[in-house]
Structure 1
Amino acid sequence: MYIQIIRALSTLCLVSILQACGASDSDGDGSISSGITYTFSLRASLANQCSVETPFTQIELLLQDENWQWLESYSADEEGVITFTTTDKYINFTLVGKSQEGDGEESLDIVSYYQANSATPTVYRATYDSLQDNARCECLSHDLLVRHRTITDVTAVDSSQEFDYWESVSTQSTRFGNVTLCREVDQDWPITSFMVQGTNDGNKLIGAADFMNDFSEASDEWSLSAVEVGEEINLDETHQTLTQSQLFVDDEHFTAGIAENASSTLVFNSHLYVNESLYKTIATYPISETSSVFGKSSITSQRQVISSDYSTALANSAPEEKVNIDSVNFSELSDEGNYDYSEIKNYPMAIISFSYEFTATKAKWTMFGPNTGILPISAVLYGYEGIIDNDSYISQTEVILLKSDDSDDYDDYIMHYQDPSIDDFEKGLSSYHLNIVLQ
């Protein structure tokens, strides 16, 4: 069934382009025209190695009707800005941006917004490594030796900056291999955390951590004495797999996994930045996994909690009830191009992604929309008819259903994803993940 759905959707994308007739004056079922004029604006940016953003112009916006038929196209100006006026409070649009990572080939990042608020400023952050302007970036890479209290068996390490590997040199020292730091010229180095945790001779969970923000060229390697000590916190006898971290000074620190039903964990709650720290955990629960001749599919649930109280964050649990999602025939994705996940009550938003494999390139098409509606891939993508051909196929599909503790109003969801940020919307966020990988 899923193969038939994909073939049907691909056929729709391969038909000859429907003749566009410009912007429509009529109101569709999904748009509201009140006579008021709204100014839509989008700003596209590309961050360099030291996190400085510059305008990104390799992007186009396609304004569409409620059935994803093309109305008008807009290109970004030299500042990476797209703007237009409309009398529709809610609009459908698709962004087509060029993307490239590392030494990889250029691909397409396609993002569709279903019934977005036309008065909400929208942001797009591109990934295109070879276009980064790093002229004012200073980057250094060295090994770093962390000296710490005696840890007999090191089980986990973490840094808020990238590193390639780690090794236990002795019970009192751990090496972080090829730590990479970048800063804007003449600016401060980022406040960087390093953490080592494990067990002592008595098999008690212990750890050490500290910060560096004074980096300079080293002849051999950097060194740090970690004096911050983690407090062991007892956990409930039965709990799910968790990932924990702390958020402060615009970064994520002390990330560590907590095994299912582990009796305790470490929390660093006495460091210099503790008063501004938010404690974050993500609980994960596997619901089902299915294999067939077509491929593999899985359903997992997650719950994210962000709190100023670590006890609240650690008391986190993802939904365990089996949901009514067809992981065999994928009947929620119809061969007419519709989708319907409304059986999952109180989850207003669906994020649906299709990964395409082409002869010469790749593309990922992601839609932010309500839990039931029309897939944007059901219509021809105007101006990009050639991106899908007979040699291309959808290799992976991911469906994420979202519920925020902060709101059950879809308007709040779509506005949040028009301009993502860590706010109350994400402090309590439950989700179901359906992942489908074709053989």
Structure 2
Amino acid sequence: MLKHSPIILVPLLLIQACGSSSSSDKTPEPAEYQFNLSAKLTNTCGLESSFDKYEVHLQDDNWELIAKYSANVDGLVSFTTDQKEINYTIVAKTQQDEAAEGLDIVSYYQVQTTTPASYSATYDSLQDDASCECNTQDIQLAHRYFNEIKSVATSFSYDDWQIIDPKTTYFSGVEVCRKSEDLWPVQSIAVRGLDINNNTSVAASLLNDFTDNEEQLWQASALEDYYIADLPLEHASFEMNQMFSDGEHFHVAVDVNDERLPVFSSHEYISESRYHSNSNHIFEIIDSMFRYSVFGSYHQIHSTMFNDAFTVSAELEEPDIDNENFSELAADGTYDYSAVSGYPLIEVGFDYDTEATTDAPAVFWTLYGPTKGKLPSSVQLEGYEEIVTPDSDIKTTDIRIIKSGSTNKYDDYIEYYQGNLDDEFSDNLKYFHLKLKL
């Protein structure tokens, strides 16, 4: 055997030499995926600024911590990972009105790492309104004769309204804001009621100049043009707004027995208008001294055609959900709402009862994930052990099980709720809603 060894070794060496130059035998470099998240704070007139009072926890499938990342001064978190899909949690400081600083925690399950994400912060004391110009005055609206005014709708905030006479309505304490040196935003008023013959009548006005004056009063005249649209023979009760110029206009509540609806469809912004309608159906409300809970279904439609908006209708068939004991939320932190088929994503929100703990901040935690899985709040959030734990008391549980008419792909859902808003996704959206308050 020894004298044959060289004959055997030569071919082996040749094979090894040839193989050493082949790229197929090289160890492939591990793939790297870049994750980017930006956070913004929006002021009174809609200007955005960066927000950096937050951090991101990168987590595994069981919500155990892998790494923490703090936002930079530009409100950005960016990191690379070898995972194509990740779980992560945003832990952001939040503050409203005169309240103390709290925590807004938002978790996302199995998102595409390379999909950009965004977070909209709420922190009133950091909000910079120096670039805003706000004027507050009253508005006097002249309109057609109304024997009775049943409702008014405005796109602006105001303190109160009153009927001066059958052809004049008065709004006090109206506030309108704009970016300094910019044009005033388009605002609207809609008045609905009965005319002199007790027939349905409406009037509307569009305003776009809110420069203050000595009288502290803006004068407006109502448009007279509207279209009487026939409603479907069978339709749900619903509410509808017309959306244009970055505002919500001409809100109206439609009763299930209404047969026709006046629609403002010939104003100068009609080419950019979208009609937003929504309806709901309540399966059950439990209201006692120990708890309040509500279980219902909701539907929204957004369309450039008002006839489409009229077809909005919440689900009438009650799904198999335990709205009394919330047994789908197990004691071990798992949950299972997969019995609601065709609804790919769940939003679970917990408002924690921190009032009994001295100096404890308010904490709200939201999960966006599949309809079956494990709650991120069932795992201790590292660095916040003194604020919130898996055993912390919850005063309000808020659950939405969501379905879009445009897609059934989970990736599309989780991308939308990461801040990548897509009109098509939300144009036809349904969800079941459960809320429990102890």
User: TM-score higher than 0.5 here?
Assistant: yes
Matches within 5 A, 1:260-409: 260-291=256-287, 294-358=290-354, 359=357, 360=359, 361-388=361-388, 393-409=393-409
CA distance in 2, matches of 1:87, 1:207: 60
Matches within 5 A, 1:200-215: 200-215=195-210
CA contact (8 A) 1:236 1:261 kept: no
Amino acid at match of 2:297: S
Q: Hey, what does 1:11 align to over in structure 2?
A: none
Cα distance, 1:366 vs structure 2: 0.7
The answer to which of 140-149 and 356-365 deviates more is: 356-365
User: What do residues 281-325 of structure 1 show as CA deviations (whole Å, max 9, x unaligned)?
Assistant: 001111122346641221111110111111111111111001100
The answer to which of 258-267 and 387-396 deviates more is: 387-396
Q: Helix, strand or coil: the match of 1:50?
A: coil
Cα distance, 1:151 vs structure 2: 1.9
Amino acid at match of 2:208: N
Q: Hey, what does 2:89 align to over in structure 1?
A: 94
User: What do residues 1-45 of structure 1 show as CA deviations (whole Å, max 9, x unaligned)?
Assistant: xxxxxxxxxxxxxxxxxxxxxxxxxxxxxxxxx943211101101
CA distance in 2, matches of 1:153, 1:72: 63
Q: Hey, what does 2:126 align to over in structure 1?
A: 131
Q: Helix, strand or coil: the match of 1:386?
A: coil
CA distance in 2, matches of 1:343, 1:228: 51
Matched, 1:105 2:100: yes
* Residue 247 (structure 2) aligned to one of 238, 251, 257: 251
Q: Hey, what does 1:144 align to over in structure 2?
A: 139
Q: Hey, what does 1:4 align to over in structure 2?
A: none
Q: Hey, what does 1:45 align to over in structure 2?
A: 40
Superposition CA RMSD, Å: 1.8
Q: Helix, strand or coil: the match of 2:32?
A: strand
Q: Hey, what does 1:172 align to over in structure 2?
A: 167
Q: Hey, what does 2:426 align to over in structure 1?
A: 426
User: What do residues 84-107 of structure 1 show as CA deviations (whole Å, max 9, x unaligned)?
Assistant: 011212111111111122222222
User: What do residues 188-214 of structure 1 show as CA deviations (whole Å, max 9, x unaligned)?
Assistant: 111111211112133322211121111
CA contact (8 A) 1:228 1:271 kept: no
CA distance in 2, matches of 1:205, 1:115: 52
Amino acid at match of 1:120: T
Amino acid at match of 1:43: S
CA distance in 2, matches of 1:216, 1:130: 27
Amino acid at match of 1:142: Q
CA distance in 1, matches of 2:392, 2:380: 15
Q: Identity, % of aligned pairs?
A: 39
The answer to which of 239-248 and 63-72 deviates more is: 239-248
CA distance in 2, matches of 1:434, 1:103: 30
CA distance in 2, matches of 1:36, 1:160: 50
CA contact (8 A) 1:158 1:196 kept: yes
CA contact (8 A) 1:237 1:261 kept: no
Residues 52 and 173 of structure 1: CA distance in aligned 2, closer, same or farther (over 3 Å): same
User: What do residues 391-422 of structure 1 show as CA deviations (whole Å, max 9, x unaligned)?
Assistant: 96211101101110110000000001112425
Task: Name the count of aligned residue pairs.
Answer: 405
Amino acid at match of 1:437: K
CA distance in 1, matches of 2:143, 2:38: 45
Residues 199 and 401 of structure 1: CA distance in aligned 2, closer, same or farther (over 3 Å): same
CA distance in 2, matches of 1:153, 1:387: 54
CA contact (8 A) 2:348 2:366 kept: yes
CA distance in 1, matches of 2:392, 2:83: 36
Higher relative contact order (CA 8 A, sep 6+): 1
Residues 421 and 228 of structure 1: CA distance in aligned 2, closer, same or farther (over 3 Å): farther
Q: Hey, what does 1:31 align to over in structure 2?
A: none
Cα distance, 1:259 vs structure 2: 2.5
| Greater C-alpha radius of gyration | 2
Cα distance, 1:269 vs structure 2: 0.5
Q: Hey, what does 1:118 align to over in structure 2?
A: 113
Q: Helix, strand or coil: the match of 2:415?
A: helix
What TM-score results when the alignment is normalised by the length of structure 1?
A: 0.88
Q: Helix, strand or coil: the match of 2:82?
A: strand
